[in-house]
Structure 1
Amino acid sequence: MEFKKPTLCSLLLLLLLLFSSSMNGVEAKLCRVPSSGFRGICYSDTNCLHVCVSEGYNGGQCKGFRRRCICYKIC
């Protein structure tokens, strides 16, 4: 039983796609903590980010109805 080259390549590509989509990576959990150093209403994600980084966190973003600066770190 002989396969033509395009058929064999298509079959290998299909198998590769099937196996690569079924593998799940491990994701780290993010912990969210309100910033202790940010004062006032949070309008700028950039300002929040800088404050959170200065507090030792990995990132920060303005969140919620009250627009609070929420810092992120990997748990």
Structure 2
Amino acid sequence: MSSLSLRMAAPVLFVVLLLVATEAVTARVVSEERHCLSQSHTFKGLCFSSENCASVCKSEKFPGGQCQMHGASRKCFCKVVC
């Protein structure tokens, strides 16, 4: 290798490592977001399909929802980042 390519290798490696570290921190922050749950006000009956629950929650202006056990029955809970 020439001396020019060796001099360029260090800065390029530094930039690559910096980008990898930035992505790792960003992914960690996103994965650590907390979700608050609120029982759907319009979902009727037992919740067996999280897709249906999510659809109802979106109509209630929530970003999504999922079925969860609540006591002895499954209910639809809407999720929002809190």
Query: Amino acid of the residue matched to residue 29 of structure 1?
Result: R
Deviations for 1:21-41, whole angstroms, at most 9, x for unmatched residues? x98552421111110110111
Deviations for 1:22-69, whole angstroms, at most 9, x for unmatched residues? 985524211111101101111111110100000011111111151100
1:72 and 2:42 are equivalent in the alignment: no
Match of 2:10 in 1: none
| Stretches of structure 1 lacking an aligned partner (at least 5 in a row) | 1-21
Query: How many residue pairs are counted as aligned between the two chains?
Result: 72
**Structure 1: 4+ residue segments shifted above 4 A:** 22-25
Match of 1:46 in 2: 51
Alignment of 1:1-75 (within 5 A): 24-25=25-26, 26-27=29-30, 28-64=33-69, 66-75=73-82
Q: Percent identity?
A: 39
| Stretches of structure 2 lacking an aligned partner (at least 5 in a row) | 1-20
